[in-house]
Amino acid sequence: MALLALGACTGPAEPPPTSTSTEPVASEPRPSASPTVSLRTVAPKDLLIGSSVVGGGHLSGTDHPQPLESDAAYRQLLATQFATLTPENALKWASVEPARDTYDFAAGDAAVAFAEQHGEQVRGHNLMWHQSNPAWLTEGGFTPDQLRQILHDHISTVVGHYRGRIAAWDVANEIFDDYGRLQAGDPFTDALGVGIVADAFRWAHEADPAAVLYLNDYNVESSAAKRQAYLDLARQLLAQGVPLGGMGIQGHLSLQYPPFPPDFRSTLQAFADLGLDVAITELDVRMALTGGEATGDQLATQADWYRQAVAGCLAVARCVSVTMWGLPDTYSWVPATFTGQGAATPFIDDSTAKPAFDALVAALQAGRT
Ligand code: XIL
């Protein structure tokens, strides 16, 4: 995608299996065996550590496995490591309203029920975006007034369906580009301008007054223009009394663009200073793979970037959650999206943690600073 052009379930954790790893390679970080600790247990109580639930609904296909249905070890991983889950695709427009006024909540309901069963919160993702929209919406030839009605009905129905069960919603996803301009291709902002965003938040709030409502985007930490556009919009919305509650920093990072974004923590703080919650919503750290495998150096750098991302959140009192995207590596969206890149998550597979996992544990154990 163009997006980053610059850029029944299980009970308690099984006992850790005996390590199957062979002799460590001197000074090279190596995958650990099954994690013996849980991220959600070591995290401070006021920081929820999370994962997306991969796959989902009408976006299923070869690039979209459905492991929540088919993979017991994946369910175990989600059930034991995390305190918040985000359906990765199941609540996107094409999944949830594949035909006008025809809703399919099956995949979303399964993810939400799974989270509830394991005492985990849910982040809802998302209500308006320039991608994953069905053809009936993008090619329907609707007037601006009709689009307004369509968005109202969608938000009221979807947020209403999960009223009281979804703690936070990404209401407006990726509405600005890296130059701080409105992102082209969003059916609603294209037709109605940025003003529709305020209405989207009001409608979501009417449908579930308890949900914390977010803006959400990538590269906010690395593009000053994009960051400024969001800070300006957030100030305006708050001044108008619009129920904006949080800023989501996706955190799709790439070792190809070093160093770790120097403005990461200050970006979180800038939104917190407006009185918003902030969340890292889609953290992953991808890399170019030579011969299909990550090197020890790459894994060590990746671990350090995960550490820095979590440390950034811990340093900002209003930073409430860190959600990782598409784990484990075997299910990640990265290889299908960024040619030649991968190994973006802290797990190789459902039961094999990487150095990044150990770095996350250490960062979380260090607590708030
Ligand atoms: C991605 C999913 O991971 C893929 O499975 C899907 O094919 C496309 O969308 N920003 C977002 C997420 O807000 O919804 C995107 O998720 C990744 C980038």
β pairing state of 277-288 and 341-342: antiparallel
> Helix, strand or coil for residue 147?
helix
Query: Any residues with CB less than 8 A from the CB of 192 and at least 6 apart, and which?
Result: 144, 147, 148
Which element (helix H / strand E) includes 287? Answer: strand 277-288
Say whether pLDDT at 334 is over 80: yes
**Residue 15: predicted pLDDT:** 33
84-101, pLDDT tens digit by residue?
Answer: 999 999 999 999 999 999
Per DSSP, the chain holds a count of helices (H) and strands (E) of 14, 12
**Residue 51: predicted pLDDT:** 98
Token duo for residue 211:
């949900």
What residue ranges define each of the domains in the chain, with the CATH number in brackets?
A: 39-366 (3.20.20.80)
**Residue 61: predicted pLDDT:** 53
- Band (pLDDT 50/70/90 cuts) for residue 32 is low
Chain-centroid distance, C-alpha 104? 21
**Closest residue (by CA) to atom 9 of ligand 1?**
89
Which DSSP symbol is given to 290? B
98-130, pLDDT tens digit by residue?
Answer: 999 999 999 999 999 999 999 999 999 999 999
Average pLDDT value for the chain: 91
CA 202/CA 209 separation, integer angstroms: 10
- Band (pLDDT 50/70/90 cuts) for residue 36 is confident
Max distance between CA atoms of the chain, in angstroms, equals 66
271-282, pLDDT tens digit by residue?
Answer: 999 999 999 999
DSSP letters spanning 355-368: HHHHHHHHHHHH--
Which DSSP symbol is given to 2? G
Atom of ligand 1 nearest to the CA of 174: 13
Q: How far is the CA of 153 from the centre of ligand 1 (A)?
A: 23
217-267, pLDDT tens digit by residue?
Answer: 999 999 999 999 999 999 999 999 999 999 999 999 999 999 999 999 999
CA 222/CA 103 separation, integer angstroms: 37
Say whether pLDDT at 363 is over 70: yes
Atom of ligand 1 nearest to the CA of 325: 3
- Band (pLDDT 50/70/90 cuts) for residue 59 is low
Comparison of pLDDT for 8 and 316, the residue scoring more? 316
Percentage of residues of the chain with pLDDT beyond 70: 89
Atom of ligand 1 nearest to the CA of 52: 3
* Cis amide linkage into residue 216, ω under 30° from 0: no
Q: How far is the CA of 89 from the centre of ligand 1 (A)?
A: 7
Say whether pLDDT at 24 is over 50: no
> How many of the other CB atoms lie within 10 Å of CB of 239?
8
Chain-centroid distance, C-alpha 158? 18
Token duo for residue 140:
């329907």
**Residue 17: predicted pLDDT:** 35
189-215, pLDDT tens digit by residue?
Answer: 999 999 999 999 999 999 999 999 999
Please list the helix, strand and coil fractions of the chain in percent, rounded to the nearest 5, in that order.
Answer: 40, 20, 40
Q: Which residues line ligand 1 (CB under 6 A)?
A: 3, 59, 64, 88-89, 173, 250, 282, 326, 333
Task: Assess contact for 48 and 83: CB atoms under 8 A.
Answer: yes
Task: Assess contact for 5 and 46: CB atoms under 8 A.
Answer: no
Average pLDDT over every residue of 132-137: 96
Q: Is 174 an annotated catalytic residue?
A: yes
Pocket test for ligand 1, best of 282, 323, 329 (most atoms within 8 A of CB): 282
Question: Looking at the DSSP assignment, which residues form a beta bridge with residue 278?
Answer: 247, 319
Q: Is 28 an annotated catalytic residue?
A: no
Pocket test for ligand 1, best of 3, 131, 281 (most atoms within 8 A of CB): 131
Average pLDDT over every residue of 132-155: 97
